[in-house]
Chain A
Amino acid sequence: MITRRECVAPGFWCVGFRAPRIAGAVRAAQYVAIDQPGRFAVRLPLGIWTAEGDEITVLFREWGERTAQLAHSDIGTAVDLIGPLGNDFTIPARGARATIVAGGLGVVPFWLLGKRLLAADVQTRVVLGARTAALLVGAAELRALGLNVELCTDDGTAGTRGSVLDALDSEPPADIVYGCGPPNMLRALSKRCVAANMPCEISMEETFGCSMGTCWGCVVPVRRGAKQGSGYPKAHAESRDFDYSRVCFDGTVYAAADLVWSA
């Protein structure tokens, strides 16, 4: 059931659900598959933003029909949630240094992760970027947890002008980097971390069909032999030398070193 609904920026919404079981079990980067009334054939996957008490929230943009309907549903509307689905991030040892890099709505997994890292005494730096100030969401909620959040925008309308990757150069390397955001940003972040031999975990996104791991519609290319891949052998006549992994079931979190960006 929808418990709250707030427009956080033009076109961006935060919607809450009463979901005690999910709120109690969720870990960072996990998502819910949402079924709402209407002529939709498949569920809408959304990352879980916050979880407190019996309530979880999602933070999303009005992309198409399903997100538009959710954004404009009344409080009290019954929706069916499956979750929490997907794997989660690795938490480093006490005292380690972590850097979180988020682009736009890529901030979503990091409220739960930030909370967890703070509880684990991991020194955490958050770099949050977007094209322009209007697309920057979630910073206040992360700061409210006690996280140190640096902002940057491509056009300089908020925080430092430049990309989240520039911010990586300004400080000594972290023990682990976490990333979520648009594909181009993730590709660059991934390559940079792999080249610098810095552990990096990325939460990936693809268009989902089933959200359950059975349709094979949501795959990303991974290194052959990666444990999250299908493990199917290579066909004789196949020139592509990578494997595919189901983001919905085997992900969404991957070690940057396992992802193949050239496919």
Chain B
Amino acid sequence: MTELARERIDPTTRIGKSELKNFVIAASGCYNRGAEFGRVTDVSAYGAITLKSVTLQPRLGNGMPRVLPAPAGLLNAIGLQGPGIEHFLAHDAPHLREVQTAVIASVAGFSVAEFAEVAARMDGLPNVVAIELDVSCPNVDREGECFAANPESTADVVRAVKARVRLPVIAKLTPNVTDVKPIARAAESAGADAISLINAVRGMAIDVARSQPWLANVSGGLTGPAIRPIAVLAVWEAAQAVRIPIIGMGGIETGRDALEFVLAGASAVAIGTANFRNPDVAALVADALVDAAAERGLTSVRALVGSANPSFAGERSH
């Protein structure tokens, strides 16, 4: 194997029929439209940015406090504060044109019908190349059970959305399950073009001074480096279960971290919490993945995908 010049390495990837200029995506709920981080970094270093999940109705979100720094992580319970699809289309969507990279819209809902309705209205917005479904929400039609905890519920959402949209659809799965494989398979069978994982890991903290839960919502989601090994395993297992591309995320801070996900079988990686510490993280990770391909004498970053995973079920690229 000889090391190749960086310029000769193909950095691109594919999510369904959409091509991204590189492997690195900003995770939902951490980046808005990129304007805030645009004050201190070049947002176009991202191959795509994922918008915060949009719901049918406006949502005020949870009370305070909503966050707590945790060891090597962040505990959060924001509660999907957001404008609702109507206000989003009128006030936010027109600005998507200004985003300096591709956009992935994210949809959250509390019923299958809500997902389908919101996703349909996101289809075809400027710059939007895919629609991600945040199926980690409670399902009001099933006694509040989380959609992504159940293969049938996950499949129902994906199927209903696929029937209404033309863009590639990504099902975003939760790690808060015993086995992620049947859920990944259900999403694939229902027509998902890709899956992304992991969403935040459930957790809580007690305010010992006041003897009460720290978060107003009591429980929250843990993100950041603390959850990385959980995420790598989830990607590893999902990559053995489905052939569709996987977007891996959970605690990625460096190129080495991202490479773990890619070698496990991720065709793209997403970064959330690490932006909060290092706004330049996207460029760092994108460059490191190209370097990793170059060092191994490969002509594309895609050729790295799944190469540590002997049972990788996806498409291998050489």
Binding site for B on A (CB under 8 A): 35, 39-43, 64, 66, 82, 206-220, 230-238, 240, 243-244, 249, 263
Contacts and interface: CB of A to CB of B under 8 A. Distances in A.
A235 B72 contact: no
A41 B72 contact: yes
Contact of A249 (B31, B36, B67, B84): B36
A207 B60 contact: no
A232 B87 contact: yes
Interface string B33-48: 0001101100000000
B277 A35 contact: yes
Contacts of A236: 57
Given A41-B225, A82-B40, A207-B67, A235 B58 contact: yes
B166 to A, nearest CB: 28
Contacts of A210: 30, 275-276
B226 A41 contact: yes
Contacts, number: 123
Interface of B: 29-32, 36-37, 39-40, 52, 57-61, 63-74, 76, 78, 81-84, 86-87, 91, 223-226, 273-279
B276 A216 contact: no
A230 B81 contact: yes
Q: Which of B30, B59, B69, B82 lies at the interface centre, i.e. has the most chain A CB atoms within 10 A of its CB? A: B69
Given A35-B277, A215-B276, A236-B57, A42 B69 contact: yes
Nearest to B91: A231
A217 B82 CA distance: 13
A263 B70 contact: no
Contacts of B86: 233
Contacts of A42: 69, 74, 224, 273, 276-277
A232 B82 CA distance: 7
B215 to A, nearest CB: 10
